[in-house]
Structure 1
Amino acid sequence: MRPALTALLLVLVTLAVPASADTLMTNHGFENGLTGWTQSHGTGGTAASTDQAWRGTASALLTDTSATEPVGLESGQVPVTAGTAYVAFAKVFPVSGRADLYLRFWSGAALLGSGFTPVSAPAGRWSDIQVKATAPAGATRASVVLYSANAVTGVTHWDEVAFTPEIANLGVQVENSTPNAVTFGTDAHRGVAYTVFTGTQDDDARFVAIDTATEKVVLSQPLEGATGGWAAATATDGSVYVGTYTNAGIYRHVQGTNTVTWRHKASGNQVWAMTPGRDGKIYGGTYPAAGFFKYREGSGYQDLGGVPVWPGKKYVRSIAYDDVADVTYLGTGSNAALIRFDNGDAQARKVDILPARFRDMSMVTSLKWTGGRLLARVEGTLLVFRMSGATATLEAEIPGTAPHLSDARDGKVYFVKGTALHAYDIAAKTEQPTGVDLAMEVSGFGWVDDTLVAVGGAENRARLFKYTPATGATRAAPVAGAPIMPAAINTIAGGPDGRIYSGAYLTGGMGVYEPIGGDGDDGRADLMHRGTISQTDGMLNHNGKLYIATYPGAKLYEQDPARPWAPRELLNLAGDEQSRPYALAGAPDGRVFIGTVPDYGRYDGALTVYDPATGGHRVHRDLIPDQSIVALAYHNGRVYGGSSIRGALGTTSARATATRFFVFDPATGAVAHQALPAAIAGKSTITDLTVVDGKIWGFAEGALFVFDPDTSRFLHVSEKFADVNPAYESSAQWRDADLRTVAKDPAHVYGTVGDRLFKIAKSNYALTTIVQKPANRALDGLATDDLGNIYYKIDGRLFRYAV
C-alpha cells in the first residue's frame, strides 16, 4: 500500500500570480552526490550514480527490490502559499518497474497533503515527469519525493528536479537603458541633457538629467502615468518640458530643482513633438488626433487650428518654430504634409508647403528651423528650404539621413547617415562627411560651448558622443547611473533549442529564458541579446532555425541556436513599402511565408515567400486589395491566410468592408477566397490561424472558427469573446488571438485573446478560462516549451502556465 498521502484536486480559477518563479531544488542535478536530500522512506536503495545523467555526469538512483518496503528520497523544503497550485518537474530514466514523483506540503513537522504522478515507461530513456497539486490551508513549505511504493519494485534514475507555481511570473526578459526625447539646458555652460527613458504599463517612464561634462545622471524622477516620451523642449524662460505617451502628458521641470510635475493632457494619446516659442511658450503636436497646441506656465493649454490641424491627418510628428516670423511648421502624416502655421495672421494661418512629389510618402518625421532655413526629413530624405513668406524654395535634397538634426553652428547643421556624422553647409548648399563614426543611435543633439553633444544609445545602453568641429576631437562614453528599465515584450516564441525567446517592443533586444531554470527574481533580465534586432513583430521556429521578423521595414532574420548569437538578415521589405511582419508560417521544404502590414498611411499589405535554398524572395503586394495580411498557416502545400481591413497607422478609415479568409498556392501565386459564415463574415480582422489535427482553427476577433481544408467546409463557428472588437486605432488592430496545442494535453487547444488565457475542448469546443487579467491589461502572445508548458506575456513580464 502507498503511504497515506492525500492527492489534491486542482481547480482552474483566476489566480493571483506569485512573485517567485522556478526553484531548482538544492543539488537538483545530483552532481554533489545526495547532498541536500534525505531518505524519507525505507532504509536503503538510494545512491548517487554516474551510470546515467540527463545533464552533467550524475543522477540519483532508486533501487527497490522489495515488494513490501518502500524507497523514498526527499528534497529540502521550499516556501509555499496556501491555496496556490504548484508543480514539481524532474527528468526520469526508468530501468525497470515503476516509481512515483511526489509533491508534499508541510506546516512545521506536520504533513498536510500531497500529490503524485507514477512512471513506468518508456523504459531505457530519459523522459519528463511532473506532479501538480494545490497547497492546502495552513501549508507553508513543500518538498519533492522520488519514491518507489512498498507494493512495487523497480530501478529508476532521476535528474534535474525543479519546483514552480502553476502560474509563474518569470519577470523581466529584456532591459533597456536608451533615452528617447532629448533637450538641453538653456545655460550652455551647464551642459545638462534632459531625457526621457521608456517604461512599460507597469513601470513609469523616467525623466533623467545627464551632466554632459561628468557623463553622469544627476536627476532621475518617474513620470507618473506615462509609458514613454518622444518630445522634449526647453522654453525661453528655462523651463524644461516633456511630452509623453500613452497619456498625452505635458510635464514641466524647473532647472535647478529636483522635481518634475504634470501640467496638462494634450489631445489624443501621444505627444509626438515639442519646440520652444516666444515668451516661455512651447508648441507641440499629437497622435492620433493630429492636434497642434501651445502651452505656457500661467496661461495654460490651448489647441490651435482645430483638431485635426489638417484634414485627414493622424500625426503631427514633427515641429519647428521661426521666432522672427512667429511661424510654426508642422510635419504631419499620414500621408505627408508640411504645414506652415502663421501664429500672428489668422487670415493666412495654414498652408501646406511640401512639394507635391513628396505627398504620397508617409510623414514628415523631423523638422528644424535653424540658420535661416527650414530642414525637413521625409522618409529618410532631408529637404532644405529657403522661406520667403509662405513660399518655400527647395535648396538641397539629401537622401539616407537619420531623424535628428543639430542647430546650426558656424553655418553648418549636423546629422547622421548610418552611424556616420555628416554636415550640411548652409551657404554652400553642400553636404560632406566629417569622418567621424558615432557607433550609436542618436536620440538628440545639443551644443555645449563649441562641442556638439549627441545623446543616444548602443546595445540598449545610454551613451554620449562629443565632437568639437574646430579641433576634430571626439569622445564616446557610457552614461553612468542611467536607469535600466524593463522593456515591454512584443512577441514570444519557443526556439528550436527549447528556450523561450522574447522580443521587445520599441526598444529592440531579445531575452532568452531557459525553461525551469530559476528565472523570476525578478527585476532584471537573466540572458539578453542587445543590438542588431529592433522591435520584434513575429518569430517562427522552423526547420531547426529561429526566424525573427522586425519593424520597421519588415525585415526577416535567421538565427541558428547551435551557433553564437548573430542573426543574419535575409530580407528587407522597406522598398516594397511594408512595415510590420506579424504573420509567419513555414513549409517542410524550408520556405518561410511572411504576412505584413504596409508602411504608414497605406492599405496594401503583402504576402512574401522567402526560399532559403536560393536566398530569393517574392513579394505578393496587395494580394487582398486594400488589406493587411496578419494571419498565416501552412498545410498540405497551401498557405491559409487571414486579412485585416485595418491599414497601417495613420489611416483614418478602412477601404475594404470585411476580412477575407483565403488559400494561397505558392506554386502558382493563385488565391482562392473562402466565403465566411454569416457569424464572422462582417468581422474586420482574422487575428490568428493554426493547424490542429489537419483542420484550420482561427479567430476572427472574438469568434472561433474551424475549417476543414479537405472538404472546404466550416465545421464550427462560435462567438467566444463578444467583447473583443477593437476600435480602428486600438493596439490590437492587427493581431490578438494566439492558438497552440501541447502534446501533454491532446484534448484541448490553448489560446489567448484580449486579457484571457483559455483552453478549448477539441471534442465539443467548450471554453475554459484559465487566467483573466484586469480590464485594459492585455494578456497575449503564446509559446510552448519542450515540457509542454504555456508561456504568455503581460506588458514587460513573461508568465508561464504549467499545463
Structure 2
Amino acid sequence: MKSLLKPAALFILLFPAIPGVCQVDTTQFKNHGPQLFASMIQGSAFVKDEEGRELVYTVVRGEPAHLLGYDVETKDLLTDLPLGEADGAWDMAQASDGTLYVPGADGTMFSHKPGTAEVKDLGVALEGETYLWNLTAGKDAEVFGATYPGCRVFRYHPADGFSDVGKGPLVEDENYVRSIAYYPKTEMVYAGVGSNAHLIEINPKTGEKRDILPEKYQDYEFVYGLEIVPGIDGEDRLFVLLTNGSVTLVYNLRSGEFEQEIKKMDMRAITGVPGGDAVYYTSGGSLKNFNPAFPEANAEVLGEDVGTANAFSVGTKGEVYALTSGKNLIKYDPKTRRLDKTKLKVPGQPIPIQSLMYGPDGNIWSGGYLAGGNATYNPISGEHRFLPGLDQTEGMSYLGEKIYFGVYPKGKFYEYDSNFPWDPKGGNPRMLGQILDQSRSFAQASIPEKGMVVFGMIPEYGKLGGALITYDLNGNELKSHPSPVGSQAISGIIYTDGYVLVGTTISGGLGVKPTTTEAVLVGWDPENGNTLFQTVPISGASALTGFIKGPDGNIWGMGDGTLFKFDPIGRKVVNTHKMYEFPEFKSHIWRSAFLIQHPDGYIYGTDNKKLFKIDPESMVITELSNKAGLLVMDKQGTLFFRRGTDLWSFRP
C-alpha cells in the first residue's frame, strides 16, 4: 500500500496564507481497504527474449499497474513487476536492441529486458506531459511516443535520452497525440491527433510536419489508432482508425492515396504477413484476414468468438498469435486452419475509487476508475460486495430505493432496484438510455416530489456545453436539455424551493479550451427546461461545486477555494468567504469540492485532496487530512472518503 497516512502518525498542515485556520491532531481515521478490483489488461506485445523464447507481455491496470510476461508455449506467468506510480499503460514497443518500452499513464516511461526480473523507470518523457499514449519502435534502438496534454511526439534513445521531435505541439490548440507509427523505408513518423482529428506526418530529424488527413474526415474526434503493414511489391499501407464512429482508412504509403474506408474494424492491433498478401485483424469478435490490395469486403472469417486483439504476432512458420482484451491467447495455423484459445491467468489488482454514495440500502457505494465495476461496503456489518457489469461510474444518486448511475463513456444512464439482486445481464441495473455528444454525469439530484432525477453533463471530447438530463420515473422518459449557459458544462446541482439550482464549469470535454472565463449559478425549471435566473457568485471562479443546504437555510457551495452562500428564496448571493488557496486552472475542472453538514454542527468537506471542517459561525477552517477525495456520510454520522484505491472513514 503506497503513501498512506497511519492514524497514529497523522499530522495536519495549515491552509497557507488564509486567516482563521486551525490545525488538529486526531486518530479517528480508519482504512477499510480497496473496494474494487479488476484484471483489465491494456498495452500488450509479443516479443522474444535473448534466448529466442517467444513471450507475450501485457499491463494489468491497478495502483500501481503491473507488467506481466507469459511464455507463449507453456502459458506460464514468468514476469510480474510493478510499474512505479503508473496506474496503467496503453501500449508498449520492443526496440531493435530487444529492449521493451512501456509508456506509463503518469507521463513516465519504463524499460525492461524481456526474460529478466527488473523494470527501470526512465523518468518523465517531456516536461509538462502527464500522460503517454502509444509507442512505436524506430531504427537503431530508438522509440517514438505520443503525449497528452501538449500534443507532442518524443524520441527516446538509451544513449541520448528524450527529445521533442515535433518541436512543440503537432497541432495548435489540440491536447492529444493518441496514436503513432514509424515507417522504416522513409524514416517518417505518423501521429494521430485529437480531440479534432488530424493525421500528421513528421520528419523526426528536422521536425518538419504536414497534415495528410483529407478534409472530409476532419470532423471526427480522434485518429485513435495507427498500424503499418507490408504490401506486395512495396505497396505498404498505413491503417488509420477514426473515432467518434469506427471508420478505418487505408493509406498507400507509396502512392500517397487513401484507398479504402472500412467499417467496424478493431484497431487496437492488426498485423500483416511478411509477404504482404494478408492482414489479420479482429472485428465483431471474429478473427479475419484479407489482402490489403483488394477491398476488405472480401475478408474471410477465420474464427468466431475470439474477442478484440490487443496484440498480434506472426511466427516463423506462418502461425498467427493474438492476445485479446479478454485475456485469451489465440493461435491460428493458416495451413491447418486450426484455432486454439487459452485464457491466461491475470492477477487482479485494486483500482481507484471514482465515485461514492451512501445508498438507500445503508451501504457505501463506490464505482471503479476506467476498468469500471461497482462495490458496496456495509458500515455496520463490514460486509463488502463487488458488483461487476457497468463501465466507469462518474456519479450516483437515488430516489426511493432505486439507484441511478451516470456512466462513462458515451453518456449512459442506468437504474438499479435495490430490492432485487444485482444482475446486469438480467436487466437490474437496466439501461435507461444514452445522450448523443454527452459523456460524463458527475452532478446529480433527485426530486422526490416530482418523481424525477436530474443529471448534469460534461460533453464529449473536444466539445463545449454540457446538457441537463431529466429522467421522469412515472413516464420512464429521459429528456435532454441544452446547457443554460452557452459553452459551459454542469458541475453542481441541488433541488431547492421548487427549482433546480445549477452550477456550471467553464470546462468542456477533454481536448478543448474554455471560451468563457467564469462559472455561473443558474435557477432552472426541470419541468420545461426554462432558465429562471442567472448570477455569478464568485468572480472568475472556473467551476461551482459541492452544493448543500446549510445550517442557515441558504445553499452553500464552493468555487475555486471560495465558499458562497445563496438565498434560494430571495435568489441572491448573501456572502462569500475565501477559505483556501486553489491551484491555477489547467485543462479542466469537472468536480471539485464535496460538502456535508454534520450533526455535530460543523460543515465537513473535501477539495484539492484535503479533508477539512468549517465552523459555520466563525468560518474557521481546520484541515483534517492532506490526502482525501470525494465525501459521503452514513446514518451514524461517519464520514467516508477515498485515498486512491482505498475507502477510508473519519468519525468526528
TM category, shorter = 0.7 to 0.9
| Aligned residue number for residue 311 of structure 1 | 172
Q: Assess, with a 3 A threshold, how the Cα gap between structure 1 residues 189 and 549 changes in structure 2: closer, same or farther.
A: farther
| Aligned residue number for residue 555 of structure 2 | 696
1:463–1:479: 8 Å Cα contact kept in structure 2? yes
2:166–2:204: 8 Å Cα contact kept in structure 1? no
C-alpha separation between the residues in 2 aligned to 1:355 and 1:712? 51
| Aligned residue number for residue 355 of structure 1 | 214
Give CA-to-partner distance per residue, 1:552-586, whole Å, 9 cap, x none.
1121111122212122111222xx21112111111
Residue 76 of structure 2 aligns with an amino acid whose one-letter code is K
Counterpart pick for 2:292 among 411, 416, 426:
426
Q: Assess, with a 3 A threshold, how the Cα gap between structure 1 residues 705 and 749 changes in structure 2: closer, same or farther.
A: same
1:411–1:425: 8 Å Cα contact kept in structure 2? yes
Matched, 1:499 2:363: yes
Counterpart pick for 1:166 among 4, 8, 28:
28
Matched, 1:255 2:114: yes
C-alpha separation between the residues in 1 aligned to 2:310 and 2:116? 24
1:580–1:597: 8 Å Cα contact kept in structure 2? yes
1:178–1:456: 8 Å Cα contact kept in structure 2? no
2:175–2:511: 8 Å Cα contact kept in structure 1? yes
Counterpart pick for 1:194 among 44, 57, 60:
57
| Aligned residue number for residue 251 of structure 2 | 386
2:61–2:89: 8 Å Cα contact kept in structure 1? yes
Deviation at 1:668, TM superposition (A): 2.1
1:451–1:468: 8 Å Cα contact kept in structure 2? yes
Counterpart pick for 1:528 among 360, 375, 386:
386
Deviation at 1:540, TM superposition (A): 0.9
2:542–2:585: 8 Å Cα contact kept in structure 1? no
2:519–2:536: 8 Å Cα contact kept in structure 1? no
Q: Assess, with a 3 A threshold, how the Cα gap between structure 1 residues 277 and 647 changes in structure 2: closer, same or farther.
A: same
| Aligned residue number for residue 604 of structure 2 | 750
C-alpha separation between the residues in 2 aligned to 1:657 and 1:214? 59
Give CA-to-partner distance per residue, 1:429-468, whole Å, 9 cap, x none.
124573744475653333455444443555xxx4434444
Matched, 1:209 2:74: no
Identity of aligned residues (%): 30
Counterpart pick for 1:666 among 517, 526, 543:
526
| Aligned residue number for residue 445 of structure 1 | 312
Counterpart pick for 1:539 among 396, 415, 425:
396
| Aligned residue number for residue 182 of structure 1 | 44
Matched, 1:395 2:395: no
Matched, 1:769 2:586: no
C-alpha separation between the residues in 1 aligned to 2:498 and 2:341? 53
Counterpart pick for 2:439 among 579, 583, 590:
579
SS of the residue corresponding to residue 527 of structure 1 reads strand
Q: Assess, with a 3 A threshold, how the Cα gap between structure 1 residues 513 and 302 changes in structure 2: closer, same or farther.
A: same
Deviation at 1:516, TM superposition (A): 3.1
1:579–1:596: 8 Å Cα contact kept in structure 2? yes
Residue 446 of structure 2 aligns with an amino acid whose one-letter code is G
| Aligned residue number for residue 467 of structure 2 | 606
| Aligned residue number for residue 19 of structure 2 | none
Deviation at 1:469, TM superposition (A): 5.2
1:604–1:621: 8 Å Cα contact kept in structure 2? yes
C-alpha separation between the residues in 2 aligned to 1:544 and 1:295? 55
| Aligned residue number for residue 613 of structure 2 | 759
C-alpha separation between the residues in 1 aligned to 2:431 and 2:349? 27
| Aligned residue number for residue 203 of structure 2 | 342
TM-score, length of structure 2 as denominator length: 0.88
Residue 386 of structure 1 aligns with an amino acid whose one-letter code is Y
C-alpha separation between the residues in 2 aligned to 1:614 and 1:437? 41
Q: Assess, with a 3 A threshold, how the Cα gap between structure 1 residues 702 and 683 changes in structure 2: closer, same or farther.
A: same
SS of the residue corresponding to residue 272 of structure 2 reads coil
Structure 2: any 5+ residue segments left out of the alignment?
A: 12-24, 231-235
Counterpart pick for 1:232 among 83, 92, 100:
92
Q: Assess, with a 3 A threshold, how the Cα gap between structure 1 residues 436 and 235 changes in structure 2: closer, same or farther.
A: same
Counterpart pick for 1:683 among 531, 541, 553:
541
C-alpha separation between the residues in 2 aligned to 1:637 and 1:453? 61
Q: Assess, with a 3 A threshold, how the Cα gap between structure 1 residues 615 and 648 changes in structure 2: closer, same or farther.
A: same
1:642–1:688: 8 Å Cα contact kept in structure 2? no
| Aligned residue number for residue 736 of structure 1 | 592
Equivalent positions of 1:271-670 (< 5 A) are: 271-343=132-204, 346=206, 349-371=208-230, 372-379=236-243, 380-388=245-253, 391-398=256-263, 400-409=264-273, 411-431=277-297, 432=299, 434=301, 436-438=303-305, 442-448=309-315, 450-458=318-326, 462-468=327-333, 471-480=336-345, 482-518=346-382, 526-530=384-388, 532-565=389-422, 566=424, 567-573=429-435, 576-588=436-448, 589-651=450-512, 653-670=513-530
1:383–1:394: 8 Å Cα contact kept in structure 2? no
| Aligned residue number for residue 21 of structure 2 | none
C-alpha separation between the residues in 2 aligned to 1:439 and 1:692? 55
SS of the residue corresponding to residue 547 of structure 2 reads strand
Deviation at 1:212, TM superposition (A): 2.5
Tell me the number of residue pairs that the alignment of Structure 1 and Structure 2 aligns: 616
Structure 1: any 5+ residue segments left out of the alignment?
A: 1-14, 19-80, 85-133, 136-164, 520-525
| Aligned residue number for residue 121 of structure 1 | none
Deviation at 1:541, TM superposition (A): 2.3
C-alpha separation between the residues in 2 aligned to 1:495 and 1:446? 47
C-alpha separation between the residues in 2 aligned to 1:655 and 1:704? 24
| Aligned residue number for residue 794 of structure 1 | 643
Deviation at 1:292, TM superposition (A): 0.9
Deviation at 1:303, TM superposition (A): 1.4
C-alpha separation between the residues in 2 aligned to 1:698 and 1:487? 30
Q: Assess, with a 3 A threshold, how the Cα gap between structure 1 residues 640 and 418 changes in structure 2: closer, same or farther.
A: farther
Q: Assess, with a 3 A threshold, how the Cα gap between structure 1 residues 82 and 190 changes in structure 2: closer, same or farther.
A: closer
Matched, 1:706 2:565: yes
C-alpha separation between the residues in 2 aligned to 1:795 and 1:471? 49
SS of the residue corresponding to residue 357 of structure 1 reads helix
Greater shift, 267-276 or 302-311, is seen at 302-311
1:373–1:384: 8 Å Cα contact kept in structure 2? no
Give CA-to-partner distance per residue, 1:752-778, whole Å, 9 cap, x none.
11222233344x2634435222xxx4x
2:29–2:651: 8 Å Cα contact kept in structure 1? yes
Residue 690 of structure 1 aligns with an amino acid whose one-letter code is I
2:36–2:368: 8 Å Cα contact kept in structure 1? yes
1:180–1:197: 8 Å Cα contact kept in structure 2? yes
C-alpha separation between the residues in 1 aligned to 2:10 and 2:348? 35
| Aligned residue number for residue 95 of structure 1 | none
C-alpha separation between the residues in 1 aligned to 2:468 and 2:199? 32
Q: Assess, with a 3 A threshold, how the Cα gap between structure 1 residues 389 and 430 changes in structure 2: closer, same or farther.
A: closer
1:404–1:415: 8 Å Cα contact kept in structure 2? no
Give CA-to-partner distance per residue, 1:169-209, whole Å, 9 cap, x none.
11100112222111110479733112222232xxx332221
C-alpha separation between the residues in 1 aligned to 2:155 and 2:368? 34
Greater shift, 383-392 or 252-261, is seen at 383-392
C-alpha separation between the residues in 2 aligned to 1:632 and 1:285? 37
SS of the residue corresponding to residue 221 of structure 1 reads strand
Deviation at 1:533, TM superposition (A): 1.3
